[in-house]
Chains A and B, each alone.
Chain A
Amino acid sequence: MSINRHFNILDYTLQSLLRRKFKNIGIIIVFTFVIFITGSVLLLSYSFKKEAMLMLKNSPELIIQKTMAGRHELIPVGISSEIMKIPGVSKVEPRYWGYYYDSLIKANYTILASGESLSANNRLLKGRLPGINENNTAAIGRGVSEARFLNTDSSISMQTAGGRPMDFWITGIFEADSELLTSDLIVISRADFMKLFGIPEQMATDLAVTVSNETETVVIAKKILSQFPDTRPILRSEIIRTYDAVFGWRSGLILTLFSGALIAFIILAWDKATGLSAEEKQEIGILKAIGWETSDVLEMKFWEGLVISLTSFLIGIILAYIHIFFFGASIFAPALKGWSVIYPNFKLAPYIDFYQISILMSLTIVPYIASTIIPSWKASITEPDIVMRG
């Protein structure tokens, strides 16, 4: 019985919304746009976060960098045997990486010397990685190969620190799936790396420390710091925390910048809801004359708000989803990604959860509904006789 009543009121509401198509479609379009923008920002920042977390999961628990005068310095490989002596440390691996500016295409490459940990996941590679002692060979990322029109079995030339050219035979190209990580990457052997950048023997960029029990990482980091006060241990959890804060902060900033548009929309909604046309007033008057109560009219207005906001919400969030995960977030990515010349052209893994949806609802539907309460009440207390008399 009582459920039927609500259905009938909903049914009536839908009919009456359809009768005033143009006014309502106008609101729905604007509302959809607001939800689309807000939703895109949220979906993008959360999927970046997710992506970053997935990447960092396999990174070492602890990275030791040397600092000099507050700047990152090369670290002597010799101290790794000292670090190995600390109980709980299971492996210390020197890492060799750096950036190379290619004046030809005006972009930076990330250069990495191949090590043990790299060869483990070469599923993402077409071809093969250069061997640890294999000189003058390289594996390159897709971004590099496209920018320099390179393929396997061709060669790339780079300039050493001393100004002499150095050629690398390309043995492999990273697949598109790993583009976020590998787009601007060039992997070469350790000896070549030292030669290219002129790094003295027994020095490395930093040390990756593997810890057997993750909960001991902090203690080990403290021990390393007290033993080598000129180093800077970076915990994986610290990196994760920073990424999280940065993406949260960036998306919050964009949302704040966007709040002007949100407020404009709320004013529009308020205005549309307040400005009842004579026709609508008459309709409510007639409804009340044939026995509708104030609460029924209020319920009708509630359904009206719900239908409009849910329709816009669904369209908006579907469009945002398509924008982010099929078109690679073309509108917002530059603001959230940071800058680089060789942009990784990646597809984000779709990621959406209740949390994002409830944030989006609080940011859009709640203000909309709240702004229409008082106008709907004003409409619902319309006196039939006054309206019908004109």
Chain B
Amino acid sequence: MLLHPGVIALVIGSGIVLLLILFASATGIRIINRWDIKSSSEEQLDLERKTYLISTLVQYTLLFEIISLFLFIYTADDMHNILAGAMCATGSFNANPYGFPALYVKVISLFISAAWIAVNYIDNKAQDYPLIRMKYKLLLFILPLVLSEYILEIMDFRGIDPNVITSCCGVLFSEGGIGIASSLASIPVVPMVIIFYSLFAIVIVSGISVIRSGSKFYTIFFALVSGIFFIVSIASVISFISLYFYQLPSHHCPFDMLQAEYYYTGYPLYFSLFMGSFFGMMTGIIELFKHIPSLSSVIRLIQRKWALIAVCSFALFVAITLIPIIFLPFSLRGY
């Protein structure tokens, strides 16, 4: 199935990302080995110039990764027509064992490249580039991710055979099935609602404490809770939030809400969730760099800013989930 226009676009896009990261990593290895801020040799000057190139490359990589993630979901959704039994993106992801892993790796590499840009941003705030080695080691970590993403994607599309009967979302997320996705859907709604909203309250309170006091305990705690909240939110989307969006007690698909039929509500929903979780987790991660003298005051300011962004994004996310619950006539009370 490699001749589908969406597949061609994805394979070209991921190939370009792979090339960019490959080039950046090759240069990164040189920086890890040869970097010496005190030296004024020609090589050091050259390396300092190369840092600009690498940060530009990673920034574009992130941009392309975002486009390619949505394109991947869209292509999966578009392909459900040619797969017997598949009714939406979930069915196409499920058509062979590489679909979901490819999606997961895409999300992870999106997070990691965003984290790289965040670390780079902090590093550039200090005069002596204290994080430079750590930064380029992180870059070397992106390379295998992008590579496996490329391979998984190609395996997935090669493996999609238009005649295979796949389980569509109606089967995959139905309560009787086995596997992670279906066990999420079968989580009883009431406990899930309670966990979701109480965790949201904890996230908001801890976020506000980070903004106000900024002690080490709060930031680490906030980062942890943000991470957990991300997972709980995805589980809640599958378990009950999607039901309200589709107004159907049996439709658990997390991808359909990206479609025009549901007014593209998935985009602001997932965007705010990703933003919140990313900035929430990053406030805790950069706590590790606070001991570096040239960074400690900068990090304090950045932590407050990022915690604020995270809290606002999470609030927006929950507000979006509440819109159909409050304003649409659908109710889960009978279930």
Contacts and interface: CB of A to CB of B under 8 A. Distances in A.
Interface of A: 41-42, 45, 237-238, 240-241, 244-245, 248-249, 251-253, 255-256, 294-295, 298, 353-355, 358-363, 366-367, 369-370, 373-374, 376-377, 380-381
B3 A366 contact: no
Instruction: Classify the secondary structure of B's interface with A.
Output: helix
B215 to A, nearest CB: 29
A353 B9 contact: no
Contact of A241 (B4, B12, B81): B81
A298 B55 CA distance: 11
A366 B15 CA distance: 11
Contacts of B70: 358
Nearest to A305: B60
14 contacts: A45-B5, A238-B84, A241-B81, A248-B4, A251-B5, A256-B8, A298-B52, A298-B56, A355-B6, A358-B67, A360-B9, A362-B12, A362-B13, A370-B20
B246 to A, nearest CB: 18
B67 A361 contact: yes
Given A240-B81, A245-B162, A377-B53, A367 B60 contact: no
Interface in B56-88: 56-57, 60, 64, 67-68, 70-71, 74-75, 78-79, 81-84
A183 B13 CA distance: 41
A362 B260 contact: no
Given A249-B4, A252-B7, A381 B49 contact: yes
B201 interface: no
A373 B60 contact: yes
B286 interface: no
Contact of B84 (A237, A354, A362, A366): A237
A359 B260 contact: no
A251 B10 CA distance: 15
A366 B64 contact: yes
A294 B67 contact: no
Interface of B: 2-10, 12-13, 16, 19-20, 23, 49, 52-53, 56-57, 60, 64, 67-68, 70-71, 74-75, 78-79, 81-84, 162, 260, 264
A253 B8 CA distance: 10
Contact of B60 (A353, A358, A369): A369
B202 to A, nearest CB: 33
A366 B108 CA distance: 21
A373 B57 contact: yes
Given A294-B49, A358-B67, A381-B49, A366 B5 contact: no
A359 B71 contact: yes
B82 A295 contact: no
B20 A245 contact: no
A355 B10 CA distance: 12
Q: Which 10 A-B pairs have the closest CB atoms?
A: A252-B3, A362-B9, A244-B81, A377-B53, A362-B13, A359-B9, A245-B82, A355-B74, A248-B4, A381-B49
Given A241-B162, A381-B49, 15 more contacts: A238-B84, A245-B162, A252-B3, A252-B5, A256-B3, A298-B52, A298-B56, A359-B6, A359-B9, A362-B68, A363-B8, A363-B12, A366-B12, A370-B19, A381-B52
A197 B3 CA distance: 41
A377 B52 contact: yes
Nearest to B57: A373
A201 B53 CA distance: 79
Nearest to B9: A362
Contacts of A377: 52-53, 56
B323 to A, nearest CB: 21
A58 B23 CA distance: 54
A237 B82 CA distance: 9
Contacts of A256: 3, 8
Contacts of B56: 298, 373, 376-377
A49 to B, nearest CB: 8
Contact of A366 (B8, B13, B260, B264): B13
A366 B52 contact: no
B69 to A, nearest CB: 10
A3 B28 CA distance: 31
Nearest to B10: A362
B67 A370 contact: no
A255 B11 CA distance: 13
A354 B53 contact: no
Contacts of B81: 240-241, 244
B82 A358 contact: no
Given A241-B82, A370-B20, A373-B20, A359 B5 contact: yes
Contacts of B4: 248-249, 252
Nearest to B258: A354
A161 B20 CA distance: 68
A16 B68 CA distance: 32
B71 A248 contact: no
Nearest to B267: A354
A373 B19 CA distance: 12
B314 to A, nearest CB: 25
Contact of A355 (B19, B68, B78): B78
A252 B71 contact: no
B19 to A, nearest CB: 8
Contacts of B57: 373
A248 B75 CA distance: 11
A34 to B, nearest CB: 13
Contacts of B84: 237-238, 241
A89 B64 CA distance: 51
